[in-house]
Amino acid sequence: MTQYPRACGIDFGTSNSTVGWLGPDAGVLVALEDGRRTLPSAVFFNADEDSVSFGRAAMGEYLEGYEGRLMRALKSLLGTGLMDGHTEVNGRALGFRDLLARFIGELKDRAECASGRTFDHAVFGRPVHFVDDDVVADRKAQDTLEAIARQVGFRELSFQFEPIGAALHYERSLSREELVLIADIGGGTADFSIVRLSPERARAAERREDLLGNAGIHIGGTDFDRALSLECVMPVLGYRSRMRSGAEMPASVYFQLAAWHTINFAYTRQVWADLQQIYRDAIARTELDRLCRLINLREGHWLALQVEQAKIALSASAHTRVDLERLEPGLALALSRAAFTAATQGLVERVGACVAGLLSAAGVDRARIDTIYFTGGASGVPQLRARIAAELPAARSVEGDLYGSIGAGLAVEAARRYG
């Protein structure tokens, strides 16, 4: 009887999550929702039906207008002070650790159901840095994720850098040796690895000598959403408008609304009271009316979705249109890729500097890199991809499975580590 691996690989992502397993079928990634291999990292607590839904179903219930609380970008909580705190969900206190445990437990249950077996061993992917320039906070983030994984039933688990997971997946397609820069740019982080890959090297149990360097920075797709939102969308809600006193409109509420994991903080009584006070001295009353309507109707997640869709559209086209009808009849916003590029220039340069720093620290001549392997949903942003490629003009660019490479590679690693 064929012995299939007893362990799975889990890519718990900021935007989407996957589970990989080298089972009897050709596909490595497990179907997690309606036959799809990804499960959006979202949870919706439905107050109307007193139920909890996950992934696309969570997003769907929220958009259908059910009363409740939507939570996205859950991974962004790791390494922050919020992780040990609580939030209110439908009148009850919910710890953020418990929130992550619910989602990861659901991920495990769905993978087991689809595979017809129990997984108590796993290799989890992790970014090169959960937290930039803070070794203690970074270690605490991994320890927290490990504790949560054990809480939901994993007895044995270990971690692998996410770009290495992508490298192991790409390696299975090679017929000759390559020196590869793995560019993994997901929802929350941009991670890079320089790796020697080949069919022969893939057979080795120890690959330490093939890894020439790792680097990462806490910039990902949600940061591009945030920059696009603040620079191009929030001004129609009064961002950077002036008060009668000459001061600029306080910005804290706009920053809260521009990031998935802080949107709900904009709905507190204190924020509403502050807005009423600010309104009396505001010049841009029309814009402030839109902001008040958005907060009163709790449409922050809806707006974030419009911005995210605009980012995706501008990654493929030169222009797009954002429908803001919910805030004001007939309101729409025309956006261009040029504006998107300008809004994200600082982020792009920081990512480019990270790649340049990695090449310098690894002592690798740029001309030696054969391939840039792009994975992660945010690696499809044109200006970002072009900036990375500019560091390695002689290398060819290969686009992997943007949402599945890491989970598939972690499945390979899980089978190697646990048998």
CATH of the domain at 69: 3.30.420.40
Q: What is the pLDDT of residues 289-304, one digit of tens each?
A: 999 999 999 999 999 9
Look at residue 185 and tell me if it is in a domain.
no
| Beta carbons within 10 angstroms of residue 401's beta carbon | 18
Same domain, 121 and 250: no
Give the largest Cα separation in the chain, rounded: 79
Global pTM value? 0.89
Look at residue 370 and tell me if it is in a domain.
no
Same domain, 250 and 153: no
Same domain, 230 and 155: no
Same domain, 167 and 252: no
Which of 328, 343, 358 is the last residue in one of the domains? 343
Element (H, E) at 195: strand 190-197
Look at residue 181 and tell me if it is in a domain.
no
* Residue 282 DSSP code: B
Look at residue 251 and tell me if it is in a domain.
yes
Which of 293, 308, 343 is the last residue in one of the domains? 343
Look at residue 187 and tell me if it is in a domain.
no
Same domain, 110 and 242: no
Look at residue 104 and tell me if it is in a domain.
yes
Same domain, 22 and 122: yes
Identify whether the C-beta of residue 358 lies closer than 8 Å to the C-beta of residue 213.
yes
% of the chain surpassing 90 pLDDT: 87
Same domain, 20 and 152: yes
Pairing status of strand 371-375 against strand 178-185: parallel
Which of 296, 313, 343 is the last residue in one of the domains? 343
What confidence score (pLDDT) does residue 351 get?
Answer: 98
Phi, psi of 344 (to 5 degrees): -110, 10
Same domain, 163 and 226: no
Look at residue 132 and tell me if it is in a domain.
yes
Same domain, 149 and 242: no
Alpha-helical runs (H) found in 152-251: 162-171, 221-228
Torsion of CA 94, 100, 101, 103, to 10 degrees: 110
Q: What is the pLDDT of residues 232-262, one digit of tens each?
A: 999 999 999 999 999 999 999 999 999 988 9
Residue span of the structural domain in which 279 resides: 222-343
Q: What is the pLDDT of residues 175-226, one digit of tens each?
A: 999 999 999 999 999 999 999 999 999 888 778 899 999 999 999 999 999 9
Instruction: Give the mean pLDDT of 120-139.
Output: 93
Look at residue 245 and tell me if it is in a domain.
yes
Domain count, the chain: 2
Distance between CA 324 and CA 196 in Å, rounded? 48
What confidence score (pLDDT) does residue 3 get?
Answer: 60
Same domain, 23 and 103: yes
Distance between CA 122 and CA 149 in Å, rounded? 9
Those residues whose C-beta lies under 8 Å from the C-beta of residue 131, and which sit 6 or more positions away, are 79, 137, 138, 141, 218
